[in-house]
Amino acid sequence: MASPPAVPRLPPHDPRTPALSVVDMHTGGEPLRIVLAGCPEVVGPTLLAKRRYMRQHLDHVRRRLMFEPRGHRDMYGAVLVPSELPDAHLGVLFLHNEGYSSMCGHAVLALGRFALDFGLVPAPPAGAREALVNIHCPCGLVAAFVECEGGRSDGPVRFHSVPAFALATDLLVDVPGHGKVVVDIAYGGAFYAFVSAEKLGLDVCSTKTRDLMDAASAVTAAVKAQFKINHPDSEDLAFLYGTILTDGKDAYSEEPTTNICVFADEQVDRSPTGSGVTARIALQYHKGLLELNQTRAFKSSATGSVFTGKAVREVKCGDFKAVIVEVSGQAHYTGTASFIVEDDDPLRDGFLLK
């Protein structure tokens, strides 16, 4: 049998469609597919304008990378773009099964490592144990701090969020199949509804994921129908991203509190959800359950992975009292790939099974 070529070669494909080269990572089990090359230029004077442009003109890139047969309905991605902010090292657009998020904490933790290791930021000074990576997300500038050794990433990453705040607390929502349910809504770069799973007759630690997903999706739909989301800075940020079901343990404890996030089109986060941890910390601080610089651990009911978070300082976001939240977690590399398209493939842009 002939040996395969020593240098990887792309299989036959449409020469008019560049191969999409990616690096795959995960943070606490939640995947991140980072586009290295092959994505057409994303046009726009601002990051939010670029987000709108990609949604309108380049959505086939998202579908090809996120959907089957190259991805799956819970795949997550990132397209790196130039930022208009002078302090940003890079800009990023987040991709998921439904569209484009405003913030993604697990992705920021992974991108911090990636940016340092792939030379997207200046090498830290000799002997430095941490490197700064300023990442412009659609919600704003997020500072990531990457543990390093010899100029390469080495260990966990932490980030400082955009201003996070509680939008509504003890909101009574009529959820079909569950009756009246008390819901909190908070912002951590994206808006989430928070509900104790117990109020829905479920246990976030032992109930089947499918049942948790159905209940969370019902809450999301009910909140969207009965409550208007507003953000003081931009209408582009004023949408409910998903619902996070918790174990109800909101009072401070040194023991981890467990949650599961269902976002976009019933996409289940495998990690504790970085922007969700940010929003949950802001909510707990708003309720007086947490003090500044009190660190809490947040555990994913899907994988058991853990992020830590703490409110580091008070700020304002419009008229809202807000906090900057620090979230820490560990990202890992899983591989690289090049994805191609054949011109006669009827499923070239991907598909999802319901």
Asked if 104 is an active-site residue, the reply is: yes
Single out the catalytic residue among 104, 139, 261, 317. Answer: 104
pLDDT for the residue numbered 9 = 84
Three-state secondary-structure class, residue 198: helix
Please give the single-letter amino acid code of residue 300.
S
* pTM score, whole prediction: 0.96
Mean pLDDT, residues 80-88 taken together: 98
Model pLDDT for residues 321-335, shown as the tens digit of each residue: 999 999 999 999 999
Q: What percent of the chain has pLDDT over 70?
A: 98
Given a cut of 80, whether residue 3 has pLDDT beyond it is no
Average model confidence (pLDDT) across the chain? 96
Model pLDDT for residues 39-60, shown as the tens digit of each residue: 999 999 999 999 999 999 999 9
Mean pLDDT, residues 150-159 taken together: 94
Can you list the positions of beta strands (E) in the chain?
Answer: 20-27, 30-37, 77-81, 90-95, 100-101, 130-137, 140-149, 152-160, 165-175, 179-187, 191-196, 240-246, 257-263, 267-268, 296-300, 306-317, 320-329, 331-339
Model pLDDT for residues 267-316, shown as the tens digit of each residue: 999 999 999 999 999 999 999 999 999 999 999 999 999 999 999 999 99
Q: Is 318 left (phi over 0), alpha (psi -120 to 50) or beta?
A: left
